[in-house]
């Protein structure tokens, strides 16, 4: 998550292609939620997150050798899971950063001949803040929660869609660089997409989901009142998956992550999902944000619970998620 200077006092810191994987069931309301038989593997979540937040990557600061290793890792993941590059290669070079830096971007084309021209963006930032300048026993800001956890979730969603082919719309899977430098990766990318007349339906950005909240909902969404996304996600999952977090509104987190670059460019529902609630994690922008403090069962269940939502987002016959007036 882009550094929140003002928070330092508060933190230390339709047809289914694969009916065995996706089926509809009636929820308690008149709408329909989805039942997903596909299972997210806890071991895969753990292994992916463990490497991405390892000391070998030296905190993944944009423009460093550490984030280059992360980029190769993410490219290899896309190749292994048959997710194609959206641009000429998986690497989308930042136009607003002095050293070579790249977003990593993959695409799965939609299965519907008409809806495939609309795009859903599932994203997270893979950069972090790198090496601590002052001398101390641990100098690597591993960024396990911020935001290797979000990258892990998006990667597992990419694997799911690659396996099930359950997306009628095309999906862009984006791992942003430069978020910690001021949303540079997303700002650079939206300029290119606008030039291509990119037909965006909605963006779901995932930020800091490594530890659970002690609330009656799984996660919160930034800019809760800006669209009906929270309500639609809950409808699609058949659960109270998304709730309203007052501190999110108080600190205007909608403007603090890569969803904002897309909202500003496209004026479509573009929002971030998080479980960091200012009470459950003491290591924001801290060297102790490490793999060992992440809750892997929680992350696995988080991804699993979101699969019905992202499937419906990518498959409804009409654009059901809209901005509130």
User: What are 193-238's pLDDT values in tens digits?
Assistant: 999 999 999 999 999 999 999 999 999 999 999 999 999 999 999 9
Q: Residue 11 is part of a domain; what is its CATH number?
A: 3.40.630.10
Contact 24, 35 (CB under 8 A): yes
319: CB partners within 8 A, 6+ apart: 118, 201, 202
Residue 319 lies in a domain: no
The dihedral formed by the CA atoms of 198, 199, 201 and 206, expressed in degrees to the nearest 10: -10
Distance CA 111, CA 170 (A): 8
Look at residue 323 and tell me if it is in a domain: no
- Measuring CA to CA, which residue among 87, 61, 56 is closest to residue 73? 56
What confidence category does residue 18 fall into, taking pLDDT thresholds of 50, 70 and 90?
very low
pTM: predicted TM-score of the whole model, two decimal places: 0.93
Q: Is residue 286 one of the residues assigned to a domain?
A: yes
Residue with tokens 């956890």: 149
Q: 322 in a domain, yes or no? A: no
Give the containing element (helix H, strand E) for 84.
strand 84-85
Tell me which residue of 108, 105, 106, 124 sits closest to 116, measured CA to CA: 108
Q: Give the pLDDT confidence of 146-159 residue by residue, as tens digits.
A: 999 999 999 999 99
Please list, residue by residue across 147-171, b when 16 or more beta carbons sit within 10 angstroms of its beta carbon and e when fewer do: bbbbbbbbbbbbbbbbebbbbbbbb
Biggest alpha carbon distance in the chain?
59
The whole-number pLDDT of residue 14 equals 37
Residue 132 lies in a domain: yes
In a domain, 325, yes or no: no
Residue 34's pLDDT band (boundaries 50, 70, 90)? confident
Is pLDDT of 246 > 60?
yes
8 Å CB contact between 299 and 41:
no
Has residue 318 been placed in a domain?
no
- Domain assignment of residue 122, given as a range: 5-313
The structural domain count of the chain equals 1
Q: Is the pLDDT of residue 29 over 90?
A: no
Q: Does any domain span residue 321?
A: no
DSSP string covering 185-196? HHHHHHHHHHHT
CB 61 within 8 A of CB 142: no
Whether 8 shows a pLDDT value over 60: the answer reads: no
Give strand pairing partners of 176: 125
- H or E stretch including 121? strand 119-125
Nearest to 278 by CA among 256, 305, 263, 300: 256
């Amino acid at each position: 998550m882009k550094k929140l200077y003002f928070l330092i006092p508060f933190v230390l810191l339709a047809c289914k292609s694969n009916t065995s994987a996706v089926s509809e069931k009636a929820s308690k309301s008149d709408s329909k939620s989805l039942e997903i038989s596909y299972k997210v593997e806890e071991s895969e979540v753990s292994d992916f997150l463990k490497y991405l937040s390892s000391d070998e990557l030296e905190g993944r600061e944009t423009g460093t050798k550490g984030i280059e290793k992360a980029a190769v890792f993410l490219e290899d993941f896309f190749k292994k899971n048959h997710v194609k590059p959206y641009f000429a290669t998986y690497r989308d070079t930042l136009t607003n950063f002095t050293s070579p830096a790249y977003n990593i971007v993959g695409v799965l084309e939609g299965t519907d001949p008409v809806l495939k021209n609309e795009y859903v963006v599932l994203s997270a930032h893979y950069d972090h803040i790198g090496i601590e300048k002052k001398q101390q026993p641990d100098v690597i800001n591993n960024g396990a929660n911020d935001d290797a956890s979000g990258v892990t979730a998006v990667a597992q969603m990419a694997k799911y869609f690659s396996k099930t082919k359950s997306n009628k719309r095309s999906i862009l899977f984006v791992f942003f660089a430069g978020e910690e430098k001021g949303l540079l990766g997303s700002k650079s990318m939206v300029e290119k997409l606008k030039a291509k007349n990119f037909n965006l339906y909605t963006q779901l950005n995932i930020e800091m989901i490594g530890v659970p909240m002690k609330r009656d909902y799984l996660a919160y969404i930034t800019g809760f009142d800006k669209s009906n996304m929270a309500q639609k996600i809950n409808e699609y999952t058949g659960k109270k998956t998304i709730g309203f977090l007052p501190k999110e509104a108080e600190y205007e987190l909608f403007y603090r992550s890569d969803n904002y670059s897309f909202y500003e460019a496209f004026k479509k529902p573009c929002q971030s999902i998080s479980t960091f609630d200012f009470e459950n994690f003491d290591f924001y922008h801290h060297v102790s944000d490490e793999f060992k403090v992440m809750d892997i069962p929680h992350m696995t269940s988080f991804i699993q619970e979101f699969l019905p939502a992202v499937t419906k987002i990518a498959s409804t016959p009409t654009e059901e998620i809209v901005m509130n007036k």
